[in-house]
């Protein structure tokens, strides 16, 4: 008897599985899989390259260089974490909790350093503290004898990277303080707890997941940095990857080094996931009211103002002033019609890449939603890993499979249509945009995903119950609700593409150049002053989206 | 309908598989007169662009340019293989040209014009590449503190009198790699290693910044001498920034190893790509760059020495005097490059 039941159950479950399988294989899951596959190819390529073994100098690197890479990268990670947390969290708290003159302006000014690529901040600071640099000239003007401050070392690099990256932490901390802190503060004050204790015991733990999320983004950027570390003479993993790949001509060794780097980054991501899980309440507390600002005495007001402006002055105003000075020296030579057209191309490429990346991210999120399959959802997450991988490594990952397809297409077209098409994807705008998508998908995916999580499924489900299809529901119901997330995704990808360098250098087509490439060309020819104009334009295109993003957060 | 598409795709795939076998017999050389040349170049100077435009005007052949670091361009050509659109590869270092040749990215060409315009030691033995301009790696010394008589050779830099006095950039820089490669070629690996170690011991600071930064540091007194390229001194002296001009004026130029093998030189050069779709145009293009007119443009605009012996260097370069150059076949620099990089690592030269 029991046997029979067991069998029946088995048959039942098999039938069930078959049914489920049939239900699961539909157009949405297939499209999701295809998108996921396309995006994952380059990452998978790099992964499989690992099995072909490292190059012959691997041992040499392990014994002579690896300890240094690990040590330097470790210093950078620890140093930047401390500075970034100090600057990001304190400023976020000051502008959300207290009222003081120019607070509103400061709110968005504090995000602006993000608009400057960190290698450009590094160059301009080198210019400030250089022999015969701006600082020395200023001091000489006031006839003070010059003191030489050497910025081109590990401490300098930590400072520079922190100054250009702290806004990631600032933005995420401020969002939590603004939207979730009010009730808690009121309760804690009612119970007679002081300001300091409230902050450290209540608000900091509350904002911790968001802060750590921002910190992880900072650390990814730190680990990816190439330009600043190289110029300051600090050997890190990323400079090591370039050395192994280009100076030693061993892409295999470079892939091994990047595998270590990627493992570190995944470790950080897992750490973040784990700490988020441990604190599961962060989403439940939502203040209905925005945080009320505290009124304070006027002398304290000025103190807070000057304290919170330090990161803006150091991270934005000083580098931009230095760049402006250089532009004044060199604009006549640099500015031309050709330069304008490069600026136009830069914008065009960035807009195209931002649009496509956002559409792909929307597709990944919504197709998996309509499909409700867990394993596909996880799969779609994998395809957002590109952001953790250095641009140059992505470029290799894109180059290998696209060339394979190109060669195949070439043969097909030649034998069937008797046309020579040349390379169709590689070294064209298609390949370049594709690589940007792989690299920056996460940048669009995360804000969109978090805004869909916020609205939940209930509203769109009601729409479907009322007989509207997936697409109509998406365009009429979901899209207006997640507009903020979509726009922030779009803008963030845009800014990132404008700044992107290594990947663009390797994959860009003949006819196209970007501002970042132009700035790099000047800088690599030791014409750092000439690089100022294109750098300044990159910053300008970054400022508007940043201000806009700030509006989105505070609204 | 859907299935029809899939079936046709399948047959397409099949058809190209079967074609593979016939390819060898079917392939007939296409004779199409093309009017373009695709140039992969590491150089991105206004003078080069000016020359490319002039070439277009004279010949009607359009010059398409891909600008990137030579190493990345070589990786690109390697992956593109037979389909590579590159006709000409231009790099700023002989070592890389040799590596490109060894990787099978370049082809030997015969051109009487090039053989006439470019001296033998500045060409590849199989004519796979040709130098276009020269730079010397010299010692820049603080005029106010150091007398040129104190200087003699690269080897002498490791002696105790220069303890904590030398400024030189990082070993990831190709000019340093080529300099060490030349020492390996002349004196062997062991001597080269102890030279690199001696240099590290005598450095005034850990290597950072570029060649210009080293000169500025000498003038500011952080060290007494710097090993730099002549080209960057020219750039400093003609900078828009008055402080940089001052730095350039504060140093004297010394050509080392005049009594022995000669000063180490490095070159920019060009080669015809192995799978160049426009080979004839590529040769024309390089011939044009080696011509008297083009070499004069190089010499004037960029503070580099011309390779064409009939062309005189610019006034500034001439003012530093003539010098004996190391005539080591430049191919040796490429052969020893990797060894040089490894030696730097072992010596702890950052």
Q: How many angstroms separate the CA atoms of A240 and A65, rounded?
A: 8
Residues of B in contact with A148 (CB under 8 A): 220
Please give the residue that has the higher pLDDT: either B1 or B73. Answer: B73
- Residues within 8 A of A (CB atoms), B 147-176 only: 170, 172, 174
Of B16, B69, B240, the CB nearest to A505: B69
Window from A155-164, A210-219, B264-273 with minimum mean pLDDT: A210-219
With cut-offs at 50, 70 and 90, classify the pLDDT of residue A244. Answer: confident
- Give the mean model confidence (pLDDT) for residues A120-139: 86
Over 80: is that where the pLDDT of A410 sits?
no
Q: Which of B175, B209, B215 should one mutate to test binding to chain A, selecting the residue with the greatest count of A CBs within 10 A?
A: B209
| Residue B176's pLDDT band (cuts 50, 70, 90) | very high
Distance from CA of B69 to the nearest CA of A (A): 8
Is pLDDT at B22 greater than 80 in this prediction?
no
Binary contact (B209, A231; C-beta < 8 A):
yes
Confidence class for position A171, pLDDT limits 50, 70, 90:
confident
Instruction: Give the minimum alpha-carbon distance from B266 to chain A in angstroms, rounded to a whole number.
Output: 16
CA B348, CA B63: separation in Å to the nearest integer? 43
Of A242, A517, A526, the CB nearest to B210: A526
pTM equals 0.80
Whether chain A has a CB inside 8 Å of the CB on B210: the answer is yes
| pLDDT value, residue A164 | 93
User: A249 CB near a chain B CB, below 8 Å?
Assistant: yes
Q: What is the per-residue pLDDT across B76-116, written as a single tens digit (0 to 9) for each?
A: 788 778 888 899 999 988 888 888 998 899 999 999 999 99
- For residue B26, name the pLDDT band (cuts at 50, 70, 90): very low
pLDDT at A464: 80
pLDDT given at position A309: 93
CB contact under 8 A, A510 and B65: yes
**Closest CB to B341 among A232, A248, A408:** A248
Residue B154 has pLDDT above 50, yes or no: yes
Model confidence band, residue A145 (pLDDT cutoffs 50, 70, 90): confident
Question: Using a CB-CB distance cutoff of 8 angstroms, which residues of chain A are in contact with residue B68?
Answer: 505-506, 508
Q: Are A465 and A318 in contact (CB under 8 A)?
A: no
CA–CA dist A208, A197 (Å, integer): 16
Nearest-neighbour CA in chain A from B5: distance (Å): 15
Q: Do B172 and A243 touch (CB under 8 A)?
A: yes
**A-to-B residue pairs, Cβ atoms closer than 8 angstroms:** 141
Q: Are B46 and B233 in contact (CB under 8 A)?
A: no
pLDDT of residue B28: 40
So what's the pLDDT on residue B194?
Answer: 93
List, for residues A9-51, the tens digit of each pLDDT value: 666 677 777 776 666 667 777 777 787 788 888 878 877 877 7
pLDDT-derived band at A312, boundaries 50, 70, 90:
very high
Residue A500: per-residue pLDDT = 87
In this prediction, residue A278 carries a pLDDT of 62
* Calpha distance A254→A393 (Å, rounded): 8
The Cα A240–Cα B272 span in angstroms is: 31
Segment among A190-194, A318-322, A486-490, B193-197 with least mean pLDDT: A190-194
Task: Render B156-175 in DSSP notation, one character per residue.
Answer: GGGSGGGTTTEE---TTSHH
- Spell out which residues of chain A touch residue B241, defining contact as CB-CB under 8 Å: 132, 329, 529
Q: Are B144 and B249 contacting, i.e. CB atoms less than 8 angstroms apart? A: no
- The reply to whether B66 touches chain A by the CB within 8 Å rule is yes
Q: Phi, psi at residue A280, to the nearest 5°?
A: -90, -5
pLDDT at A173 over 70: yes
Position B6 pLDDT exceeds 70: no
pLDDT > 90: what percent of chain A? Answer: 19
* Mean model confidence pLDDT for chain B: 86
Q: Beta strand B251-254 with B129-142: parallel, antiparallel or unpaired?
A: antiparallel
Give the residue from chain B lying closest to A134, CA to CA. B243
Residue with tokens 């957002």: A384
Distance from CA of A464 to the nearest CA of B (A): 29
Contacts of B217 in chain A (CB under 8 A): 131
Q: In the predicted model, is pLDDT for residue B276 greater than 90?
A: yes
Q: What local confidence, expressed as pLDDT, does residue A291 receive?
A: 66
- Predicted-complex ipTM score: 0.73
Mean pLDDT (chain A, rounded): 82
Judged by CB atoms closer than 8 Å, whether chains meet at B67 and A517 is answered as yes
By mean pLDDT, which of A35-39, A145-149, A322-326, B188-192 is the weakest? A145-149
CB-based contact, B71 to chain A, within 8 Å = yes
Task: Compute the half-sphere exposure of residue B171: CA atoms within 13 Å on the CB side of its CA.
Answer: 28
Given a contact cutoff of 8 angstroms between Cβ atoms, the answer to whether A439 and A500 are in contact is: yes
Q: What is the average per-residue pLDDT within A4-10? A: 57
Q: How far apart, in whole angstroms, are the C-alpha atoms of residue A509 and residue A518?
A: 14
- Taking 90 as the threshold, does the pLDDT of residue B285 lie above it? yes
**CB–CB contact B209 A152 (8 Å):** yes
pLDDT in the model for residue B44: 76
Across residues A381-409, what is the average pLDDT?
A: 78
Q: Which helix (H) or strand (E) holds B228?
A: strand B225-229
Using the Cβ of A547 and the Cβ atoms of chain B, whether some distance falls under 8 Å is answered with: no
d(CA A499, CA A115): 9
B79:A403 CB<8 A: yes
Residue in B16, B345, B350 closest to A233 by CB: B350
Cβ <8 Å between A132 and B247: yes
The pLDDT confidence band at residue A346, using thresholds 50, 70 and 90, is: very high
CB-based contact, B99 to chain A, within 8 Å: yes
pLDDT band at A4 (very low <50, low <70, confident <90, very high): low
Give the pLDDT band (50/70/90) at residue A555.
Answer: low
Q: Which helix (H) or strand (E) holds B71?
A: helix B70-80
Q: How confident is the model at residue A409 (pLDDT cuts 50, 70, 90)?
A: confident
pLDDT at res. B86:
92
pLDDT exceeds 60 at position A1: no
* Nearest chain A alpha carbon to B208: A233
- The per-residue pLDDT for A279 is 56
Kindly indicate the confidence band of residue A217, based on its pLDDT and cuts at 50, 70 and 90. Answer: confident
Phi, psi dihedrals of residue B269, rounded to the nearest 5°: -155, 175
Mean pLDDT computed over A207-213: 83
Q: Report the C-alpha gap between A167 and A178 in whole angstroms.
A: 16
What per-residue confidence (pLDDT) applies to A287?
52
User: Looking at residues B41-53, what average pLDDT do you find?
Assistant: 86
Name the residue facing B350 among A137, A235, A407 (closest C-beta): A235
Give residue A435's pLDDT: 92
Does the CB of A56 have a partner CB in chain B at under 8 Å? no
List chain B residues with CB under 8 Å of A398. none
**Any B CB within 8 A of A368 CB:** no
pLDDT band at A373 (very low <50, low <70, confident <90, very high): low
Touching check for A505 and chain B: CB below 8 Å?
A: yes
B39 and chain A: CB distance < 8 Å anywhere?
no
Confidence of residue A284 (pLDDT cuts 50, 70, 90): very low
CA A529/CA A526 separation, integer angstroms: 9
pLDDT higher at A503 or B137 = B137
Q: How confident is the model at residue A542 (pLDDT cuts 50, 70, 90)?
A: confident
Residue A97's pLDDT band (cuts 50, 70, 90): confident
Residues of chain B found within 8 Å of residue A391, distances taken between Cβ atoms: none
Q: Which B residues, 270 through 289, put their C-beta within 8 Å of a C-beta on chain A?
A: none
Which whole number is the average pLDDT over B155-184? Answer: 92
């Amino acid at each position: 008897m029991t046997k029979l039941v067991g069998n029946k159950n088995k048959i039942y479950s098999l039938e069930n599985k078959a049914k489920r399988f049939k239900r699961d294989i539909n157009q949405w899951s297939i499209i999701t899989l295809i998108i996921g596959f396309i995006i994952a190819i380059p990452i998978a390529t790099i992964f499989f390259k690992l099995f072909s073994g490292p190059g012959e100098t691997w041992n040499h690197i392990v014994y002579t260089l690896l300890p240094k890479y690990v040590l330097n990268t470790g210093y950078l990670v620890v140093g930047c974490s401390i500075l970034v947390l100090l600057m990001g969290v304190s400023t976020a708290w000051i502008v959300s909790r207290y009222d003081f003159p120019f607070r509103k302006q400061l709110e968005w000014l504090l995000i602006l350093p993000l608009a400057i690529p960190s290698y450009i901040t590094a160059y301009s600071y080198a210019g400030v503290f250089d022999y015969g640099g701006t600082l020395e000239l200023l001091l000489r003007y006031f006839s003070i004898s010059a003191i030489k401050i050497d910025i081109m070392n590990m401490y300098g690099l930590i400072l520079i990277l922190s100054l250009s990256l702290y806004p990631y932490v600032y933005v995420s901390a401020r969002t939590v303080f603004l939207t979730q802190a009010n009730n808690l503060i009121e309760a804690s004050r009612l119970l007679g707890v002081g300001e300091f204790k409230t902050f450290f015991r209540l608000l900091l733990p509350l904002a911790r997941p968001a802060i750590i999320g921002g910190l992880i983004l900072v650390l990814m950027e730190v680990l990816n940095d190439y330009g600043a570390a190289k110029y300051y003479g600090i050997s890190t993993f990323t400079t090591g990857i370039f050395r192994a790949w280009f100076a030693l001509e061993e892409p295999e060794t470079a892939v091994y080094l990047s595998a270590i780097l990627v493992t570190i980054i995944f470790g950080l991501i897992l750490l973040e996931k784990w700490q988020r899980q441990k604190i599961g309440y962060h989403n439940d507390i939502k203040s209905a009211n925005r945080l009320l600002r505290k009124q304070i005495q006027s002398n304290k007001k000025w103190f807070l103002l000057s304290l919170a402006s330090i990161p803006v002055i150091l991270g934005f105003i000083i580098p931009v002033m230095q760049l402006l000075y250089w532009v004044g020296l060199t604009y006549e030579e640099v500015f031309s019609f050709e330069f304008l057209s490069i600026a136009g191309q830069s914008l065009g490429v960035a807009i195209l890449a931002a649009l496509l990346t956002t559409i792909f991210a929307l597709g990944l999120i919504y197709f998996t939603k309509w499909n409700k399959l867990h394993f596909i959802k996880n799969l779609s997450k994998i395809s957002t890993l590109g952001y953790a991988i250095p641009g140059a490594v992505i470029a290799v990952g894109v180059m290998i499979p696209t060339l394979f397809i190109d060669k195949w297409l070439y043969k097909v077209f030649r034998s069937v249509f008797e046309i020579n098409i040349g390379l169709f994807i590689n070294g064209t705008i298609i390949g370049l945009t594709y690589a940007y998508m792989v690299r920056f998908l996460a940048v669009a995916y995360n804000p969109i995903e978090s805004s869909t999580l916020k609205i939940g499924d209930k509203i769109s489900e009601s729409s479907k119950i009322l007989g509207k299809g997936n697409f109509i529901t998406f365009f009429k119901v979901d899209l207006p609700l997640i507009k903020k997330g979509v726009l922030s995704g779009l803008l963030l990808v845009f800014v990132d593409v404008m700044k992107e360098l290594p990947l663009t250098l390797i994959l860009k087509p003949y006819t196209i150049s970007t501002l970042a490439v132009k700035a790099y060309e000047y800088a690599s020819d030791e014409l750092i002053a000439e690089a100022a104009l294109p750098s300044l334009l990159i910053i300008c295109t970054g400022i508007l989206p940043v201000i806009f993003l700030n509006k989105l957060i505070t609204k | 309908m859907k299935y029809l598409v899939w079936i046709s795709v399948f047959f397409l795939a099949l058809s190209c598989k079967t074609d593979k076998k016939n390819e060898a017999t079917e392939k007939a050389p296409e004779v199409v007169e093309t009017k373009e040349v695709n140039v992969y170049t590491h150089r991105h100077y206004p003078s080069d662009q000016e020359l490319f435009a002039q070439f277009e005007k004279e010949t009607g052949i359009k010059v398409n340019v891909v600008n990137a670091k030579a190493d990345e361009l070589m990786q690109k050509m390697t992956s593109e293989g037979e389909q590579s659109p590159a006709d000409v590869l231009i790099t700023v270092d002989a070592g890389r040209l040799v590596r490109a040749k060894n990787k099978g990215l370049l082809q030997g060409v015969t051109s009487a014009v090039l053989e006439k315009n470019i001296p033998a030691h500045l060409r590849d033995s199989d004519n796979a590449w040709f130098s276009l301009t020269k730079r010397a790696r010299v010692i820049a010394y603080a005029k106010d503190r150091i007398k040129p008589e104190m200087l003699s050779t690269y080897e002498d830099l490791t002696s105790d009198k220069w303890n904590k006095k030398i400024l030189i950039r990082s070993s990831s820089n190709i000019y340093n790699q080529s300099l060490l490669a030349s020492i390996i070629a002349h004196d062997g690996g062991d001597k080269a290693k102890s030279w690199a170690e001696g240099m590290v011991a005598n450095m005034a600071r850990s290597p950072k910044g570029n060649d210009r930064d080293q000169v500025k540091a000498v003038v500011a007194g952080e060290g007494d001498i710097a090993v730099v390229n002549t080209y960057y001194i020219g750039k400093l002296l003609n900078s828009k920034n008055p402080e940089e001009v001052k730095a350039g004026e504060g140093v004297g130029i010394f050509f080392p190893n005049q009594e022995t093998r000669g000063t180490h030189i490095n070159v920019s050069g060009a080669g015809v790509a192995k799978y160049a779709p426009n080979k004839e145009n590529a040769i024309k293009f390089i011939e044009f760059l080696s011509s008297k007119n083009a070499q004069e443009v190089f010499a004037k605009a960029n503070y580099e020495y011309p390779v064409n012996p009939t062309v005189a260097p610019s006034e500034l370069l001439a003012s530093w005097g003539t010098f004996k150059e190391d005539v080591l076949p430049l191919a040796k620099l490429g052969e020893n490059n990797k060894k040089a990089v490894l030696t730097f690592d072992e010596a702890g030269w950052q």
